[in-house]
Each structure stands twice: as structure tokens, then as C-alpha cells.
Structure 1
Amino acid sequence: MLDEKESLRPYPIDPIQDRVVRKILRIKEKGPVSRTIGFFSNISQRVTYPISEYIKEKSKGKTFEKKEANEIIFPLVCTPIDAIDSKYFYAIRDGKIWFKPIAAHQDSRWRLLGKNGYANKKKTPLISVSADGNNIIVVDQNRVIHYAKTNRIICKVSFIRPQWGIIQLRISWREKWFGMEGVSLIVNLFKDPVLHMPPNARSIAVSHKGPDTMYYTDMNGKKHPDPYVGVTSIYTLNDDGTRIFFADPWLHNQFQNELTGPEEGQFKAETLAASGSTVMLFQRARNEFGQEINKIYTRFGDFDSIGANPALRATYNKNNKIPMIRYIPSEDWIRQPSIILDGRARLTRNIAVLQIGWGQNNRQLRVQGQDINGRNGYYFKNIYDMIWTFEITNNILIEEEEFLSNSIPHIGFEQGPQIIENYTNGILKSRTKNKLLEITLENFSRRGLNERGLHTKLVLTLENGFQLSLPLYARRGWKSLIGISGDNIWKLIIPNEYYDEEDEQIREILHRIFKNKRRHPVNVYERADEIRITNVFSNFNKFEFTFSNKLH
């Protein structure tokens, strides 16, 4: 990493938190569960090795469908039909999926993934692929998403000869996405668990935060190890590039979950890539001089880290140092440095995010294009570094239609519709006397399960002109996990620093309206002409904020 002043890293570093990671690793390496797994793994290897050798002998003389190295150019960025993870290259060709190890000789052949390169017995042609960590997805021509694990694929390679072999290839495709333990068998009987790619989606990407990434750091510097199960997400970019939906195997509401995009949801991305719960968005345009320009945003965000998972404990208190309790809100969108294009330099829409180590600071960003001299390759950098570097790959052909057209009809970056609204002239209904000068609801978005807890806030202006800015956070409810409710659980937060103020009006408001409580579960009622916020518990300190007009 670069010097602190030269880094985009948004979270603080707390060395004490490293002890949490080390403790988890010791448990993983020395714990009774790991020893048991290791014991049975050794037995399994002793049994399966002679079986695999027998299969190899029986297979001699048989021909397997292959493609020569020059028939599929290995990808260094992601496209709808090309993918890369830390171990393998993948490609969709002829409606089938092919692969080969990254470590294999560059002249090595491609082989079909699985028995025949298809993801089901019907041999439905495939149209798209994405891979990350130990996960891979393919989309067939019916838009059905097939999901599998790749951690049981083991190959042997040669750095000198182009031949490579498969030691073990166990891949089991599945279409049933929802797999929450204990309830999936019952829920799947009544609700369709098959996951479909949304119509006309611009991009789709699978993400796996697991053993390769080990942990993530929240915005308070607290590390959260996750070496066992991890987090699997599938992100999609909608047809106009302004909305990001995601699915999680523990969510039966499928692609109803949404991450609010950059620029208050108005950023219009051409394409999306993801890895280890890090999402990357990319947009190209031309300025008033006709020169190509670009915008890049990244964000670390999944169902757990954004605080949406009701099964995981989270806190809004920065002073909370208890391990494994997540601090929210999570990381916001980060505007990455634009790639400077001089001379003959230009970019394609093909991008990638790659895992290169533990923690979300170990991600590499890539954008395919040409350098100042018109040579093919890709620009890359660490996610939180400031400088882009160009890697030349002249052996990889880039078709002319991949580049930005000279006939782009607009100047500057397109934006999508405004999705947030500011509501003014709010009214407080309370059993106590109202001494507020103005009440405003800022940056509110009407989008169901949209993750919108980053910027929404209730602003109370006191008679002395002081403004209390109170964050209003939304997270999922238990019912939404199994797809039977789209309701959020809301909380109104009183920041701790306000309780350190000596101003009498501030102290009076905190006591009179909020009874000096720092967190208030609230209901948010959205009507066409009104937004109403009221605390959940009907008791003496009942309050209700009502907004009937909006000011953009």
C-alpha cells in the first residue's frame, strides 16, 4: 500500500484487530473440527487415488474434445463470455464452457469443464460465464443461472510443455439457488428457487468472499474473519446502467435486493465487475473537445457488510470494540482516479476485479484498452492506490467495435433519473411542546429493499439555529429472507457526539423527544403524497414525523 496520504483506503487501521484474525486462524488450523476434516480427507485421498488411476487406464485411447490455444485467446479481463479467477481461465464458445489453468503453458489447449461443457442434462446452450474465488456461474439461453463450486478441480501443469492434465474434476451444477439451512426444503416447495438473469441486464458477476480473502475491515477499523463459509453474491447491472441488484444463496427474494449506486443513484454505468464482495462500475464518454474520458467507482458491499442481515449483530456505536459485531454504515462508493488517455490511448468496456490477498484492500482493478502508442493491453492498479499502470498484451487482439465509437451523441457523462427526494416542512406530533424551527427528511429514496442507509437522515433545526442530523438506517427483516415480505427494519440514530454538547436546547430536545435514547426502532410509512416516521413502541415517548411535500 502507498503512504496514507496517497491512498484511497476509507477505513482506519487498528493493529489490535489483527489478534482477532490470528486467533481465528489458530482455531482453524489446530481445532478439533479441522483435525477431523484432515483425518477423513487423508482417508478419502487414499481411497480415491487408486480409483482415479484405474479410470485413467480405462480412459486411454479415448478422445476428449479440446480446442487449440489459438482458438480461444485467454482473457485478462472479464467479458460476458470470458472469465478469470485466481486459478483458471474460462470461456463460453459454441454454447459450451471451456477452461484451462492460468499456470499452464500459454500454448496449452482448452478442455471442456465437466463431462460435456454443459450445465444440465438437456444440454441447454450457454451464453455467459462469471467466476470468483471458489464459485462459478453460467447463464443458459433461457436466462437460467447455474451455480457451482470450483474448489474440487485439481490439475497438473507443465511450465515447459503445453500439455496439462486433470487430477480431479468434481463439479456439480445446480439451478436451485435458495439454500438456507433448516427452511430451504420447505420454502422451495412453495416458491420457485431457480434464479434467472434479469431481462436485458448489462452485466452479471458472481462474487465469493471466502478463504482467499479471509476477512474484511469495517469503517471503524474492526476486522471480521470469515474463513469457513464466506459470502456468495451475484450482482447484476440493469438495462440502463443505473441500478445494481444482488442475490445471495440465503435470500429467497433473489434479485429484489439493491445497492444504491454512486452519485446518489444517478451514475450510469456501462458495465459492472465484482470480486470478493467488491463491486466496480465503469463509464466512458467524450468531453466538449471530443476526447475520450472515463469514470470508475468501487465499493465493498454485500448482504452482511452493509448491515442488512438480521442474523448478524451490528452497531452504530463507534466506541463498540466487541469482536465480530459489525460497525455500520459500511463503506460508501469510492471515486477511483480516471485513466488518463493521451496520444492513441483508448479504452474498451471490458473490466475486471481480482482477489490478490486477504482483506478488501487486496483487490486489483483492470480496464482493457490501448496505451499512448496504440498497443493492446490493460490498465491496472491496487484498488486503493492512486496510479494506473499499463500492461502490454499485443498477442491479444481487440476488435474495433470494443472501443468507444466516435459517433457518441452526447457530451460529458450521462446520468440516470433522480431517485432521492428531500422532504421539507415536516411536522412533529408529540405529547410534548414542539420547539423546532424546521424539520427536513434528506435524501430519501422510495425503492423497497433498496439499501439506502448511507445518506438518508432526519434534520431538526432548533430555535437557536443548531441542526441535529440524525441518520435513518434501513436493514432487512426476517421475513424478507424467505421472500414473503419486502419490508425493511428502520432505526433512527442519535449520534453520540450530541450528548457531549452543553447547549441547553440540544439537551432539552434529546430528553423531551427522544428520552436520551441513542437508537430508536421506527416504522416508515410511504404513501404517494406523504412520508410518516413513527417510533415502534406506543408509550409515553411516542413521536411521529410527517412530511407531505418534497423539494429536490
Structure 2
Amino acid sequence: MLDEKESLRPYPIDPIQDRVVRKILRIKEKGPVSRTIGFFSNISQRVTYPISEYIKEKSKGKTFEKKEASEIIFPLVCTPIDAIDSKFFYAIRDGKIWFKPIAAHQDSRWRLLGKNGYANKKKTPLISVSADGNNIIVVDQNRVIHYAKTNRIICKVSFIRPQWGIIQLRISWREKWFGMEGVSLIVNLFKDPVLHMPPNARSIAVSHKGPDTMYYTDMNGKKHPDPYVGVTSIYTLNDDGTRIFFADPWLHNQFQNELTGPEDGQFKAETLAASGSTVMLFQRARNEFGQEINKIYTRFGDFDSIGANPALRATYNKNNKIPMLRYIPSEDWIRQPSIILDGRARLTRNIAVLQIGWGQNNRQLRVQGQDINGRNGYYFKNIYDMIWTFEITNNVLIEEEEFLSNSIPHIGFEQGPQIIENYTNGILKSRTKNKLLEITLENFSRRGLNERGLHTRLVLTLENGFQLSLPLYARRGWKSLIGISGDNIWKLIIPNEYYDEEDEQIREILHQIFKNKRRHPVNVYERANEIRITNVFSNFNKFEFTFSNKLH
């Protein structure tokens, strides 16, 4: 019987990798970087303490705007105007942002975040909020995204009384998104550094992979700690729910980065949530009998882990055991178990991902809805577990419009347009003879989305009928970091198992065409009438695969 605990985990467990994490932690605690940070932090506290005390003294007697607990029901899932992280609840009301600690008494009041609840001096009304880790974003009515850190907000709470206080509240909103050290000052002079929410986006979510998540594990079982520098991402779901774009503060190309969606890019999500670089997609529908059904996908993926960052070393070699050298491709989309809806059970579109510990296996998924008896609450489970559990929240009211309408067509899950094609008319141009009957390019998209999700591959059929299936992956080039070019760096991979085959034709093809190399940098040229794949840095052993625009 399949163990429900982490049975969906896609990577192997290697206990040796824990030594790497422990070593990094020791360096973090006692190393020169830690001592330097501690030194300057101590100076900063000595300077800022009298200032904060002066501000407190000046603030005595002032009345701060508050809202009663009954005016804003604390969120347990995310909506466009409600957010939750590991420390605070957030809510957008009256065009302002309010917050209170999760640990505070349930009857405690809400307070404005910052000086007046706005993100700029113009007091532009806010329409959306998202938070994760030490990051928070708000979107104003002009679709401008404002970004801030929350790790300098310190509160004192009482478990038995509804009063809570603010010990320190230092939050600095910024609109200029691109922040690569030493480059942003120059690049921002020529390109607009302000980040805008894409028009008609279905969802937007900020993600922070940092000290609270500590590391992630690649698909080869290697752990990659992030004790100092985390990864911040903002994910958006486009207007028809089929495309996922993301922005990173070190990327000037803003939302021009894309994660391929599930089901060969045709999955049509209603909503998106994210936390610690884990993305969650959710879709509801009705089957032919009118019963409500649902699909849920998750994927761990950011600019670094998918291998798109050219500044970080990565390898396609599964046999490579060098610590901290990332193995790619990264985690694929995981189809999560559907939530079984019996009796009066039904779901809203409101979902959440919460980081609850180190590693991407410590994520909790939540979906708001009603149970078999029609009681309000949310379904939850660990990301790699199989079983959903229902938590009752009777104090949370759910409007009827949040549930799936009975009037939608009973046609099952709607899909988006097809974005991949198969080309079965390939021609090999090579200086060596070969014994190939057919050459096929499978699951190729002219969007260039081949970092993982499309499973693009070159398939070579030999005279004896054996098929060599060679994955074709793409990474972003260094120019994409500053928005100069979106061109990809391509690599054709020869799986290791083919070199264990004793068949003469296989051995001959691997030697004559690929010179027994397992990984080949290639150029992919896309023209109106053809697609051409040719290897890089080779004169004598040049190979070139050409496919006309006739599709099959």
C-alpha cells in the first residue's frame, strides 16, 4: 500500500546532503559574513534605538486609526484583498492596508501598516495584496506594484487579552523593481524600473525563498542552502489562465519570464497561489452529470532552480555529485489528488500555499470551501502527501458568489489553445553516414518554453526500429538579466542509459553523429518555413537537424 506521507515527492532522499546544510549553517552562525552582519546590525540598533524611542515619545497621546476584529475577518486562505504569511494577517480595506499578528488574540483590532496604510506619498488607493516570507507587495489602482520587506516589524501580543502593541515598525515601500547591485543604477536610467501588474491578470502572488525555507532539493537529491541571499519572485496568471509569468528583482525584463503550464501548456487555471518558490494552480468544473470536480497542480520553480540563471552553475549530468552544483531539469508539475466532494461539499476559488519549514517538502496547500455537511472552512494537506483534511472555520462567512455556479456547462475541464507541435519530417545534415529511418521533433513550441514543462525532445528512429529520445532543454542567456535579449541557451541531452546498450546501430549513431558526448550545446533557429537545430563549437563533427514547417 502506498504511504500517504510524501508519496508525491519527486526527488530522492540523500542523508549525506544534510552535512552540506549543517556546514553552511555553521558558517552562517560563526563565519566572517555572520560576524560582519552582526557588527553592523549592532551599530544600526545603537543608532536607531534612540530615534525609535523619540518617535514613541512623540506618538504618545496620538490616536491611531484601527478596525475592530469583527470588521475584518482574519484570512486563512488568500484572496486579492487578503493575505497571510508566517507572522501576520493582511487586508486591503478602504484602499489602505491593515495588519495584525497571527499570534494575537482573535478579538484584537487591526492597525494600519506603516504610517497611513498607503504605499506612496500620493496616497494612491490600493486594490490588492500578497505576502510570503519576509516579502509583501501591494498593487494600487494604477496597477503599480509596490514591494517591501516585513522583517523589521516586531510586535508584542497577549494570548488572553485582545491588546497588542508595536515594538518596531520599519517598512519602506519601493516602486523601482530592478535592483541588481552595480547595474541597476545605469540600466534604470534607460528603461522603466517600475513594475506594473499585467492587465486583466487573474492572480498575482509574491514568493520568498529565504532563511525560513533554508534550502531546496534538486531532482538528483542535492540540497542547495540559501542562508544569506534568498529568491524573491512575483508570479502572475494571465487573463485566460493558461500562462504563468514571473518577475525577479535581478531581472530587468520584468514579467517577460514564463513557466510552462501543466498539460503541455493547455491547463486553464482559475487562480494561482505561491510561497517559497512553490506555485499552486487550481481549476473547478462540472462533469457530464453536473457534479463539481477539481484539478490542482503544484510546481517548485523560480529563476534559479529551473536553471535559467546563467550566473549559477548547473549541470544536466545525473552522475555529478559536486555539492552546490545544481542538477537540471528542475521539478516538473505534480498533479495533486483532487478534493473529493460528497454531500454538500463544494469549493471556492480561494487557495493558499504556506511555507511551514525547511525544504520544498514543507509547504501546506489550502483550498477554501464547505465540507460534506455544508460547514465553512478549508481543505489542507502537505504538498507531497495524498490525503486532504478539512478544518472548520465557522466564524468565516463565504458569499454564495464564491462557489461554482450551477449554470456553467457540464463539459468537464476546459483547456486552452494548443501551443506545441510535432514535426516528423526531419532531415539530418552530417559529414558522417547514418542509419536513421525517421527524425521527429516532439512537443516543440515556438514560444521557446522548454525549460521543463513541455518535455521537448528529438526522437531518432533507427533502421532496426529502436528509438533514441533525446531531451532538448532551454535556459535563459545572461543578456536576459538586464533585458537586452530573451534568446535561450539550448542543450541537447543524450541519456546515460543509451551508452549501456550493446546494439551496434545505437553505438554507431552515438559515435558517428554525437561523438559519444552526452551533452551538446546547440542553436535552435526558428524561421517561418523551417526549424533548424545545429551544434555549437564544432567544425569537423557538425550536425544539423532541419524540419520544414509541415506539421503532423
Structure 2, gaps ≥5 residues long? none
Corresponding residue for residue 115 of structure 1: 115
Q: Offset at 1:469?
A: 0.9
How big is each residue's C-alpha offset from its partner over 1:374-408, in whole Å with a ceiling of 9 and x where there is no partner?
Answer: 11000000000000000000001111100000101
Q: Offset at 1:484?
A: 1.1
Q: Offset at 1:538?
A: 4.5
Distance 1:33 1:538, change over 3 A: closer
Contact 1:491–1:519 (CA<8 Å) still a contact in 2?
A: yes
Contact 1:2–1:385 (CA<8 Å) still a contact in 2?
A: no
How big is each residue's C-alpha offset from its partner over 1:213-253, in whole Å with a ceiling of 9 and x where there is no partner?
Answer: 00000001000001111100000000000000001111111
Q: Equivalent residue of 2:16, what SS? A: helix
> Take 1:189 and 1:449, find their aligned partners in 2: how far apart are those partners?
30
Q: Equivalent residue of 1:143, what SS? A: coil
- Higher deviation after alignment, 2-11 or 20-29: 2-11
Corresponding residue for residue 167 of structure 1: 167
Corresponding residue for residue 219 of structure 1: 219
1:231-380 alignment runs, 5 A limit: 231-380=231-380
Distance 1:448 1:484, change over 3 A: farther
> Take 1:401 and 1:366, find their aligned partners in 2: how far apart are those partners?
19
> Take 1:87 and 1:540, find their aligned partners in 2: how far apart are those partners?
61
**Matched residues, number:** 552
Corresponding residue for residue 548 of structure 1: 548
Q: Offset at 1:55?
A: 2.3
Q: Does 1:106 align with 2:106?
A: yes
How big is each residue's C-alpha offset from its partner over 1:45-92, in whole Å with a ceiling of 9 and x where there is no partner?
Answer: 344334323322221111111111111111000000000000000001
Q: Offset at 1:343?
A: 0.8
Q: Offset at 1:207?
A: 0.3
TM-score w.r.t. length of structure 1: 0.98
> Take 2:298 and 2:69, find their aligned partners in 1: how far apart are those partners?
33
- Higher deviation after alignment, 451-460 or 178-187: 451-460
Q: Offset at 1:514?
A: 1.1
> Take 1:224 and 1:108, find their aligned partners in 2: how far apart are those partners?
40
Q: Offset at 1:40?
A: 3.4
Q: Equivalent residue of 2:502, what SS? A: coil
Q: Offset at 1:493?
A: 1.1
Q: Offset at 1:463?
A: 0.8
Q: Equivalent residue of 2:99, what SS? A: strand
> Take 2:307 and 2:487, find their aligned partners in 1: how far apart are those partners?
15
Contact 1:530–1:549 (CA<8 Å) still a contact in 2?
A: yes
Give the RMSD, CA atoms, in angstroms: 1.5
> Take 2:259 and 2:170, find their aligned partners in 1: how far apart are those partners?
34
Contact 2:135–2:149 (CA<8 Å) still a contact in 1?
A: yes
How big is each residue's C-alpha offset from its partner over 1:382-441, in whole Å with a ceiling of 9 and x where there is no partner?
Answer: 000000000000001111100000101242000001111111020001111232110000
Distance 1:6 1:55, change over 3 A: closer
TM-score w.r.t. length of structure 2: 0.98
> Take 1:63 and 1:255, find their aligned partners in 2: how far apart are those partners?
41
Distance 1:6 1:259, change over 3 A: closer
- Higher deviation after alignment, 37-46 or 18-27: 37-46
Contact 1:95–1:125 (CA<8 Å) still a contact in 2?
A: yes
- Higher deviation after alignment, 4-13 or 198-207: 4-13
Contact 1:257–1:449 (CA<8 Å) still a contact in 2?
A: no
Q: Equivalent residue of 2:465, what SS? A: coil
Contact 2:87–2:101 (CA<8 Å) still a contact in 1?
A: yes
Q: Equivalent residue of 1:324, what SS? A: coil
Contact 1:292–1:346 (CA<8 Å) still a contact in 2?
A: yes
Contact 1:332–1:454 (CA<8 Å) still a contact in 2?
A: no
Q: Equivalent residue of 2:131, what SS? A: strand
Corresponding residue for residue 189 of structure 1: 189
Contact 1:535–1:543 (CA<8 Å) still a contact in 2?
A: yes
> Take 1:432 and 1:453, find their aligned partners in 2: how far apart are those partners?
33
Contact 2:528–2:549 (CA<8 Å) still a contact in 1?
A: no
Distance 1:450 1:166, change over 3 A: farther
Contact 1:329–1:453 (CA<8 Å) still a contact in 2?
A: no
Q: Offset at 1:449?
A: 6.0
Q: Equivalent residue of 2:167, what SS? A: strand
How big is each residue's C-alpha offset from its partner over 1:484-520, in whole Å with a ceiling of 9 and x where there is no partner?
Answer: 1121010111112212222111111111111111111
Contact 1:258–1:450 (CA<8 Å) still a contact in 2?
A: no
Q: Equivalent residue of 2:484, what SS? A: coil
How big is each residue's C-alpha offset from its partner over 1:169-217, in whole Å with a ceiling of 9 and x where there is no partner?
Answer: 1111111111111211111111111111010000000000000000000
Distance 1:131 1:491, change over 3 A: same
Contact 1:256–1:449 (CA<8 Å) still a contact in 2?
A: no
Q: Offset at 1:448?
A: 4.2
- Higher deviation after alignment, 122-131 or 452-461: 452-461
Distance 1:6 1:139, change over 3 A: closer
Q: Offset at 1:2?
A: 9.0
Q: Offset at 1:42?
A: 3.3
Contact 1:257–1:450 (CA<8 Å) still a contact in 2?
A: no
Q: Offset at 1:366?
A: 0.2
Contact 1:203–1:237 (CA<8 Å) still a contact in 2?
A: yes
Contact 1:137–1:206 (CA<8 Å) still a contact in 2?
A: yes
- Higher deviation after alignment, 479-488 or 76-85: 479-488
Contact 1:136–1:206 (CA<8 Å) still a contact in 2?
A: yes
> Take 1:329 and 1:406, find their aligned partners in 2: how far apart are those partners?
41
Q: Equivalent residue of 1:528, what SS? A: coil
How big is each residue's C-alpha offset from its partner over 1:236-295, in whole Å with a ceiling of 9 and x where there is no partner?
Answer: 000000000001111111111111101111110000000000000000011111111100
Corresponding residue for residue 447 of structure 2: 447
Q: Equivalent residue of 1:55, what SS? A: helix
- Higher deviation after alignment, 510-519 or 328-337: 510-519
Contact 1:454–1:473 (CA<8 Å) still a contact in 2?
A: no
> Take 2:227 and 2:33, find their aligned partners in 1: how far apart are those partners?
13
> Take 1:2 and 1:78, find their aligned partners in 2: how far apart are those partners?
31
Contact 2:127–2:138 (CA<8 Å) still a contact in 1?
A: yes
Contact 1:125–1:140 (CA<8 Å) still a contact in 2?
A: yes
> Take 2:217 and 2:206, find their aligned partners in 1: how far apart are those partners?
21
Distance 1:419 1:312, change over 3 A: same
- Higher deviation after alignment, 529-538 or 267-276: 529-538
- Higher deviation after alignment, 533-542 or 279-288: 533-542
Q: Does 1:433 align with 2:433?
A: yes
Distance 1:116 1:5, change over 3 A: closer
Corresponding residue for residue 462 of structure 2: 462
- Higher deviation after alignment, 46-55 or 252-261: 46-55
Distance 1:217 1:290, change over 3 A: same
Distance 1:517 1:453, change over 3 A: farther
> Take 1:393 and 1:53, find their aligned partners in 2: how far apart are those partners?
40
Q: Offset at 1:446?
A: 1.1
- Higher deviation after alignment, 357-366 or 488-497: 488-497
Contact 1:296–1:338 (CA<8 Å) still a contact in 2?
A: yes
Contact 2:4–2:386 (CA<8 Å) still a contact in 1?
A: no
- Higher deviation after alignment, 447-456 or 340-349: 447-456
Distance 1:123 1:2, change over 3 A: farther
Contact 2:219–2:329 (CA<8 Å) still a contact in 1?
A: yes
Contact 1:274–1:280 (CA<8 Å) still a contact in 2?
A: yes
> Take 2:449 and 2:25, find their aligned partners in 1: how far apart are those partners?
35
